[in-house]
Amino acid sequence: MKEVIDNSINTSKNELDNKEVLKLLFNCIDLTSLYTEDSSDSIRDFVDKVNDLPKHFNYVPQVAAMCVYPVFAPVLKGALKAEGVNIAVVSAGFPSSQTFTDVKKLETQRAVDFGANEIDIVISVGEFQEGNYEFVGEEIHQIKSVMKDAHLKVILESGTLKDMEEIWLASMLSIESGADFIKTSTGKQQPAATFEAAYVMLNAIKHHHEKTGKKIGFKPAGGISTPEDALIYYQLVKDILGEEWLNNKLFRIGASRLANNLLTKIQELETGKQEEVKYF
């Protein structure tokens, strides 16, 4: 593990001035607003910035998705005009996942009915750590069953899992129960995303693909704010899964602070302007 991670860290440094790779990373961002003080007006303002992005930065692609609390799914549905940007919501008792399964299903179904085409949920971590794997897997399966054609991202909250074996088990359980993506963290717990957790999760995805031919997506999230860190996750995906995973159908990165920092670096490479971007 260490050798692969160290190699990815060293190789990723070569891409820091590669604006095409940085643009790809920007195109893989799930731009997120998950604050207690979010409101319909603040989310509309947030959407307006995405809609207007080409007016200010016509040399970058759009983000992959916008992610909000489920109550704001209809706001995104009504206000989002940018092409190719998906409507993602957190659901199922996010971020603790501590509520009834039928409530998780209803919240998810309502979000999809109001326009969400991506759903991010957290596994029932406590049940998983007690070894109640059948319960955890069945819950994921039941949530997936009410989602129609929407994609499901399952968050392991990897920083709460005690070792790499638990991360592997949680990855495989989530994949086999219907996850379209597996995701490291909510960002609400520490540690959040780590290279070690990513290594294990990516190898679980590789194992499943070799066994079934099905491609599962990967999303590191939580504490990723610099282009340097984002490039390491990019390189890990490339080294373990290959270049065919390097697109926003199979690779996402969850970090709103990262968006501004990538814009800052891309602007510098495109225009020569060395000025911090505070767009989002």
Helix (H, G, I), strand (E, B) or coil at 80: coil
> What distance in Å separates the CA atoms of residue 225 and residue 216, rounded to the nearest whole number?
24
pLDDT of residue 9: 96
DSSP tag of 81: -
249-274 burial: b if 16+ Cβ within 10 Å, else e: ebbbbbbbebbbbbbbbbbbbeeeee
pLDDT of residue 255: 72
194-to-79, 224, 233 alpha-carbon distances in Å: 34, 9, 9
Phi, psi of 166 (to 5 degrees): -65, -40
Asked if residue 279 belongs to a domain, the reply is no
Active-site residue (options: 104, 105, 183, 238): 183
Domain count, the chain: 1
In what helix (H) or strand (E) does residue 259 lie, and over which residues does it extend?
A: helix 256-271
The angle at the Cα of 208, spanning 122 to 119, to the nearest 5 degrees, equals: 30
Active-site residue (options: 105, 219, 238, 265): 219
Q: What is the mean pLDDT of each run of 10 residues along the chain (280 residues)?
A: 95 96 98 96 98 97 98 97 97 97 98 98 98 98 98 97 97 98 94 96 98 98 95 98 98 90 97 94
Write down the residue that tokens 């080294």 correspond to.
Answer: 239
Active-site residue (options: 30, 120, 180, 229): 120
pLDDT (tens digit, 9 = 90+) per residue, 169-211?
A: 999 999 999 999 999 999 888 899 999 999 999 999 999 999 9
Asked if residue 277 belongs to a domain, the reply is no
Say if strands 181-183 and 65-68 run parallel, antiparallel, or are unpaired: unpaired
The angle at the Cα of 234, spanning 230 to 238, to the nearest 5 degrees, equals: 170
Q: At a CB cut-off of 8 Å and minimum separation 6, what does 119 contact?
A: 88, 89, 90, 91, 92, 108, 111, 112, 143, 147, 150, 151, 152, 153
- CATH number for position 173: 3.20.20.70
The DSSP line for 34-58 is --TT--HHHHHHHHHHHHTHHHH-T
Specify whether 81 is catalytic: no
pLDDT of residue 15: 96
Asked if residue 247 belongs to a domain, the reply is yes
Asked if residue 58 belongs to a domain, the reply is yes
pLDDT of residue 68: 97
Specify whether 163 is catalytic: no
Write down the residue that tokens 């290594």 correspond to.
Answer: 199
pLDDT of residue 254: 80
Asked if residue 17 belongs to a domain, the reply is yes
Q: How many CB atoms lie within 10 A of CB 56?
A: 12
Verdict on whether the full-model pTM lies above 0.85:
yes
216-to-30, 252, 253 alpha-carbon distances in Å: 17, 12, 14
Helix (H, G, I), strand (E, B) or coil at 265: helix
Domain residues for the domain of 111 are: 2-271
Specify whether 219 is catalytic: yes
